[in-house]
Amino acid sequence: MSKKIVVLGSLNVDNIMKMPRMPLVGETMALTDVSTAPGGKGANQAVAAARQGADVSFIGAVGNDTNGQFMRTTLLANGINVDSVMTNGDVPTGSAYIMLQDNGANTILIHGGSNQALTISDLNEELIASADTLIAQFEVPLDVITVAFKIAKNNNVQTILNPAPAVYELTPELTAVTDIILPNETEAQLLTGLTVENTEEILNQVSDALLEKGVPRSIITLGDAGSFIADGSHRWWQKPIKVTAEDTTAAGDTFIGTLASVLAPDFSNLDEAVHRASTASAIAVTRQGAIPSIPTRIEVDSY
């Protein structure tokens, strides 16, 4: 039976700018390509879960514009329920500006738009209460995430927090209702104030700092160094699956959506779920784009 997953998050239209490298201050550089694609951390994670066979519903907001319709159509095309995607006529659909270098590294600028206009009253309590897992990111207002997670925990729904971008502090109110937190190395550094280095000693210290904030489990994604998992006192390093990266834009989102799609309610298969998520992410970075790069269940099974 498919897991029922609700994603509370962002819907952005990605404006992708390809360049040999990041320009220097004051430098004018010619782009090698420009394109537009559906995206947003919420949308990417929802599609990743859906392509792994999960039953996915989305809670979010778009503007009353062509970009908003584009994002609705994208979710529907991936079998995602959009009944709880609101339309806000006062602000445009969110947008992202992705600077993609030839080596696959990216830098992203975001205009929240309708994502930041989402309110507590937009939450579908019945939908959240009926889910197996609720996922959220920091691209929607913090108070909305906190209330949604409280609803989830009151109904024994698993909660996964991706604190990206790390624009909010981790409040005790939120961490008390968070089952697992999934920052990347930059976000972990911003949230803890500690410098993240790829050594077990340092990663244990950073994990301790995250868990001391009130969450029982953390996964720090480390790009081509893999990921470091802390489940209470049990710690391990998921080594990377070596590939040649073409575009890392959706790597983290693919990891999170895939993890959520297979993670047991009691987290008993966390090790196996992390390995599958790592495999899906490795496949995604060998392809161009965000949503177009996300693999299906069959592709992950056969990798």
- Map out the domains of the chain as residue ranges: 4-10+41-90+119-301
Lowest mean pLDDT among 114-118, 172-176, 240-244, 272-276: 240-244
Identify the helix (H) or strand (E) that includes residue 235. Answer: strand 234-238
Residue 73 CB partners (closer than 8 Å, separation 6+):
none
Residues annotated within a binding site: 12-14, 40-44, 139, 184, 221-226, 247, 249, 252-253, 284, 287, 289, 293
**Residue 1 above 80 pLDDT?**
no
The packing angle between helices 251-262 and 270-284, to 10°, is: 150
| CA atoms 142, 87, 84, 36: torsion sign | negative
83 is catalytic: no
- Kindly name the residue from 122, 179, 253, 301 that is annotated as catalytic: 253
* Residues contributing to the annotated binding site for K(+): 247, 249, 284, 287, 289, 293
> What's the rounded mean pLDDT across residues 105-133?
95
Phi, psi of 205 (to 5 degrees): -65, -45
Q: What are the pLDDT digits (tens) for 225-251? A: 999 999 998 999 999 899 999 888 899
Q: Which residue matches tokens 């879960």?
A: 49
Taking the alpha carbons at both ends of the chain, their separation in whole angstroms is: 23
pLDDT at residue 254, as a whole number = 98
| Confidence tier at 288 by pLDDT (50, 70, 90) | confident
Residues in the chain: 303
Annotated binding-site positions for substrate: 12-14, 40-44, 139, 253
The band of 212, judged by pLDDT with boundaries at 50, 70 and 90, is very high
4-10+41-90+119-301 placed in CATH 1.20.1630.10? no
> Residue range 285-296: average pLDDT?
92
pLDDT in tens, 34-56: 999 999 999 999 999 999 999 99
Share of the chain above pLDDT 90, in %: 91
What's the pLDDT score for residue 143?
A: 98
What are residue 21's phi and psi, to 5 degrees? -160, 175
- The pLDDT, as a whole number, for residue 104 is 82
CB 40 within 8 A of CB 167: no
> What pLDDT is recorded for position 108?
85
Confirm whether pTM is higher than 0.85. yes
d(CA 237, CA 233) in angstroms, rounded, equals: 13
Cis peptide before 292 (omega within 30 of 0): no
Supply φ then ψ for residue 19, to 5 degrees: -150, 155
Average pLDDT value for the chain: 96
Residue positions in the annotated binding site for ATP?
184, 221-226, 252-253
pLDDT digits (tens, 9 = 90+) for 166-209: 999 999 999 999 999 999 999 999 999 999 999 999 999 999 99
In whole angstroms, give the CA distance from residue 179 to residue 159.
5
Is the distance from CB of 6 to CB of 135 less than 8 angstroms?
A: yes
Among candidate residues 288, 203, 215, the one with its CA nearest the CA of residue 245: 288
